[in-house]
Amino acid sequence: MEKNVIIIGAGAAGLMCAIESGKRGRSVLILDHAKKTGSKIRISGGGHCNFTNINASPDKYLSYNPHFCKSALSRFTPHDFISMLEKNGIKYHEKEPGQLFCNESSAEIVNMLHNECKEAGVEIRLNCHISEIKKQGSFVISTNLGAFQAESLVIATGGLSYPELGTTGFGHTVARKFGIRVTPVKPALVPLTFSKKDLGIFGELSGVSINASVSCNRREFRGDILFTHRGLSGPTVLQISSYWNHGDSIIVNLLPATDAYELFAAKRQSKMEMKNFLPQYLPKRFIQKWCDLYIQLKPICQYTDRELNKIARQLHNWEIKPSGTEGYKKAEVTLGGIDTDELSSKTMEAKKVAGLYFIGETVDVTGQLGGYNLHWAWASGYAAGQYA
């Protein structure tokens, strides 16, 4: 079978690219090894699909080349995707600031994309396993469903996160086959794990949640952190994980909105013990453990100013050295990927290989938490779809 465009990957980026390419009158075929399309779309946002963030801008993305994403993001904005939803009658709401979710189900997004593909004449073949890709003028893709040929080939197979959905790093393998560089990859937006020593101390706090700010490598995020049976999770920890490297410590400000020393100064004459005073501001289970570890227990009135200053600094600068992450199985995205220096930021086409495009998570562009990664999928898919 011969087509103008073959897209490998029936996820967010691949479907968007197919729609846009099909609208231009191109004959488009999507191939995917999965049993259904849009697997990550379906589970996004707890099944309600955090489909974009109205604050999507280049500073919300990580890449060896931070300027690469600017072109695609400027040409397909959150409002462009919102317009698609409104045209299809899909209701949505803003959950956290900027984060947009479907009122009903993420299946609405998948159905919308299917309908748009159908209107654009796109053909989709699932349960398709690729054995070989060659370029003989055009691209020849050998599969269990037969051989397919196209002048343009788009790789939209995602990264290594969610291996239970069948992710394999296929896109990186294709890139290397054609001599295209791939930057180092690692799990991102992922829980961090405690060292053996810290797990023995804090493991029993599983389920405790604290509103705090967490910083690492000159980046800081504020929100909830959650103690788990293996380490730390919660939105703020997931955010900082993208900036954390093995061997780094993270700094947790347990009272980001309060000056701890001022709290102590206001209680300077109190006979209350610190472990009974601090639970007014932090979870009691955590404070009992924290006080046992870090301070001498006595009534507040018996501490010197120097001691109170030290306790305050400890509360604002609690240092933890994670042992690692929970890996791709728990990671929301893959950090790193196809080196953006190898691609045109306008078209997403490989500079070395005419007609070969890479989009979505397979590329070294990684968004922060909150709908940014799905928006990159839409934007990069849209960009490639104008040219593939």
- DSSP helix/strand/coil, 281: coil
Break the chain into its structural domains and give their ranges: 2-186+335-385, 192-325
Tell which CATH classification among 3.90.1150.10, 3.40.30.10, 2.40.30.10, 3.40.50.2000 matches the domain 192-325.
2.40.30.10
* pLDDT on residue 222: 97
- pLDDT above 90 (res 109): yes
* pLDDT on residue 286: 97
* pLDDT on residue 168: 84
Element (H, E) at 110: helix 107-119
- pLDDT above 90 (res 220): yes
Per the confidence metrics, is the pTM higher than 0.75?
Answer: yes
Look at residues 73, 181, 183, 157 and name the one whose alpha carbon lies nearest to residue 359: 157
- pLDDT above 90 (res 92): yes
* Cα angle: 7, vertex 10, 16; to 5 degrees: 75
Cβ contacts of 258 within 8 Å, gap of 6 or more: 281
Mean pLDDT of 95-116: 96
- pLDDT above 90 (res 162): no
* Cα angle: 326, vertex 234, 190; to 5 degrees: 30
Mean pLDDT of 225-254: 97
Tens-place pLDDT, residues 13-59: 999 999 999 999 999 999 999 999 999 999 999 999 999 999 999 99
Tell which CATH classification among 3.40.50.10490, 3.50.50.60, 3.40.50.2300, 1.10.3720.10 matches the domain 2-186+335-385.
3.50.50.60
